[in-house]
């Protein structure tokens, strides 16, 4: 591995400012990594070789001052819109669709000096937990090529974990950033709902979707998150309040924080090594001055059902626009209706169609009250419970996933078991809370284990205090390397 691709964002900034290195050589080094590794990992759907180098060249003429991501290569999950680039969402239906505008996060990245180097693979329309639902390719977990990288932001997670980019953006609707981050041994964060603009993110479930960073450590995560955050006049669901400063909190420690850990975690069919790291996390926080208590996590058992009703209901409506009339791959038919049926029937994959059907069903008259309306009630109950819980505690610390990365093909025929892998993450989106997953260690099979920290709405800074403390203690990056024997 070339040293140029080893630097953290803050190291890069220091070296850039001293003119010891320049963006062109760094970008070229990363592109080389991509050329070398991606044929195996298959994280990228498109690599912007030319435009990335050109942009890096332009940056060399500019002053890095005031650009927190100056010369930092960034990959984007391919459900985030970049002007004049393909926006496939991992779907055959949109395999040739080019978007005419930049997402707000893309604006912000470019203003901050970042270099967009490519688009990463994902489960079609971000629907999945393994990235196997992509219409184009299967992405492999850099730690074990027989395993999935998780999903739906599996391409972004694999790209960062294998060192092909220092930063990638993903989207998290029910765990789609945190679960692949955990599976790939990297850091992944979603902010409070509304923290990051969704303008230009292709909607899966609008009330749950959040864009967030996948990075190699918590400091990089905080830097990128600060760039992405903030009110956007183009997204009415973004928070009005200014985004908190995140970077400084990482060093602050956890002295005086009250932390809840889930009571009876073993009852959730959690793999043993994960329980051990969870216990270690609790011990570390306690040792560092936090109060740690076991607490019941209300509504968790209902959260998966609730999530799959709310998310599919919104998805059934959000995906209605892919009808072949204005854009996308139209498959003609004798009548308008037949054209719709051909385009959507053949253009969408199985999982997407399953969710559209589910969502259509739960909103149908006669079923609305039994499903959608009831799920809304469960949602408000979950929100209320956590408002109460967070009056008592500052943070919740728990595993990101009940298992480590599963094998490619292992769950693809069993959607319910696949859905169940979101058990620790989906409720966080339902409650609209911020959460970050950091790597804690690896299992006996050499697969990474993630620990998740959740804060109350708006308290990202507090969350990063614990993340910083745990990261220093776990020292994951210094101890483990993907692909190396454990």
Partner 1 sequence: MPAEKYKAVIGLEVHAQLNTSTKIFCACRSEYGGEPNTRTCPVCLGLPGALPVLNREAVLKCIRLGLALDCEISFASIFARKNYFYPDCPKNYQISMYDRPLCENGSIDIEADNNKRRIGIERIHLEDDAGKLLHEKGDISNIDFNRSGVPLVEIVTAPDIGSAAEAAAFLRSLRQYVRYLGICDGDLEKGSLRCDVNISLMLRGARELGTRTEIKNLNSFKAVRSGIEFEIERQSSLLDAGKPITQVTQLWDEGEKKLVAMRGKEEAHDYRYFPEPDLPPLIVDDRFVAEAAADMPELPGVKKQRFIDEYGLSEYDAGVLTVEKELADYFESLVTETSDPESSCKWVMREILGQLKDTGITIAEFSLSPRMTGELLILVKEGVINLQAAGAVFSEMLSSGEAACDIVKRMGLEQISSSEELGKMVDEVIAGHKEEVVRYQDGNLQLLGFFIGEAMKMSRGKANPGILNELFKLRLHRRD
- The residues carrying an active-site annotation are 77, 152, 176
Minimum separation from the CB atom of position 370 to partner 1 (A):
14
Minimum separation from the CB atom of position 189 to partner 1 (A):
21
Rounded CA-CA distance 358/412 in Å is 18
Site residues (CB under 8 A) for partner 1?
79-81, 87, 89, 94, 97, 99-101, 103, 198-203, 205-207, 233-237, 313-314, 316-317, 320-321, 323, 325-327, 336, 340, 360, 363-365, 368, 372
Per-residue exposure over 236-248, b if at least 16 CB sit within 10 Å of its own CB, e if not = eebbeeebbebbe
Is 118 strand, coil or helix? strand
The closest of 60, 61, 58, 56 to 72, measured between CA atoms, is 56
Rounded CA-CA distance 466/106 in Å is 29
Minimum separation from the CB atom of position 458 to partner 1 (A):
16
Minimum separation from the CB atom of position 318 to partner 1 (A):
9
Minimum separation from the CB atom of position 197 to partner 1 (A):
9
Alpha helices in 18-48 (DSSP H): 23-41
Minimum separation from the CB atom of position 366 to partner 1 (A):
9
Q: 364 or 486: whose CB is closer to partner 1?
A: 364
Q: 272 or 335: whose CB is closer to partner 1?
A: 335
The closest of 391, 434, 436, 375 to 194, measured between CA atoms, is 434
Q: 229 or 318: whose CB is closer to partner 1?
A: 318
> What is the distance between the terminal CA atoms of the chain, rounded to a whole angstrom?
18
* DSSP code per residue over 355-390: HHHHHHHHHSTTTTIIIIIHHHHHHHHHHHHHHHHH
Interacting residues of 272 by C-beta distance below 8 A, sequence separation 6+? none
Is 84 in contact with 98 (CB distance < 8 Å)?
Answer: yes
Q: 294 or 336: whose CB is closer to partner 1?
A: 336
Strand partners, 258: 291
Q: 203 or 224: whose CB is closer to partner 1?
A: 203
Q: 71 or 200: whose CB is closer to partner 1?
A: 200
């Amino acid at each position: 591995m070339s040293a140029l691709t080893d630097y953290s964002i803050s190291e890069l900034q220091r070296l850039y400012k001293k003119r010891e290195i320049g963006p062109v050589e760094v970008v070229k080094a990363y592109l080389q990594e991509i050329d070398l590794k991606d044929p195996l990992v298959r994280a990228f759907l498109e690599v912007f070789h030319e435009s990335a180098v050109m942009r890096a060249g332009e940056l060399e003429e500019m002053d890095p001052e005031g650009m927190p991501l100056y010369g930092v290569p960034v990959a984007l999950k391919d459900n985030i819109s970049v002007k004049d680039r393909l926006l496939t969402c991992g779907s055959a239906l949109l395999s040739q669709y080019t978007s005419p505008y930049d997402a707000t996060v893309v604006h912000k990245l470019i203003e901050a000096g970042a270099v967009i180097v490519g688009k990463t693979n994902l489960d079609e329309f971000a629907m999945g937990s393994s990235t196997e639902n992509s219409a184009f390719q299967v992405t492999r977990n850099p730690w074990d090529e027989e395993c999935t990288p998780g999903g739906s932001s599996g391409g972004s997670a694999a790209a960062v974990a294998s060192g092909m980019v220092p930063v990638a953006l993903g989207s998290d609707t029910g765990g789609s950033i945190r679960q692949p981050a955990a599976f790939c041994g990297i850091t992944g964060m979603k902010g409070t709902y509304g923290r990051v603009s969704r303008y230009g993110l292709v909607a899966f479930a609008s009330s749950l979707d959040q864009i967030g960073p996948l990075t190699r450590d918590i400091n990089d995560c905080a830097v990128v998150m600060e760039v992405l955050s903030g009110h956007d006049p183009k997204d009415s669901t973004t928070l009005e309040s200014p985004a908190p400063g995140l970077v400084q909190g990482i060093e602050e420690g956890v002295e005086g924080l009250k932390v809840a850990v889930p009571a009876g975690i073993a009852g959730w069919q959690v793999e043993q090594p994960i329980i051990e790291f969870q216990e270690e996390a609790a011990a570390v926080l306690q040792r560092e001055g936090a109060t740690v208590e076991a607490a019941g996590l209300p509504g968790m058992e209902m959260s998966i059902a609730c999530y799959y009703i709310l998310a599919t209901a919104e998805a059934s409506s959000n995906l209605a626009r892919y009808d072949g009339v204005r854009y996308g791959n139209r498959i003609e038919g004798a009548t308008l209706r037949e054209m719709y049926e051909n385009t959507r029937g053949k253009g969408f994959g199985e999982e997407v169609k399953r969710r559209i059907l589910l969502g259509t069903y739960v909103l149908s008259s006669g079923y609305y009250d039994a499903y959608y309306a009831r799920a809304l009630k469960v949602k408000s109950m979950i929100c209320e419970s956590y408002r109460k819980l967070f009056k008592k505690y500052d943070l919740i610390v728990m595993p990101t996933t009940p298992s480590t990365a599963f094998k490619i093909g292992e769950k693809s025929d069993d959607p319910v078991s696949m859905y169940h892998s979101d058990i620790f993450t989906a409720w966080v989106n339902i409650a609209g809370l911020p959460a970050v997953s950091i790597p804690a260690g690896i299992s006996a099979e050499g697969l990474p284990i993630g620990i998740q920290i959740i804060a109350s709405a708006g308290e990202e800074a507090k969350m990063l205090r614990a993340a910083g403390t745990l990261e220093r203690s776990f020292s994951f990056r210094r101890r483990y390397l993907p692909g190396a024997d454990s």
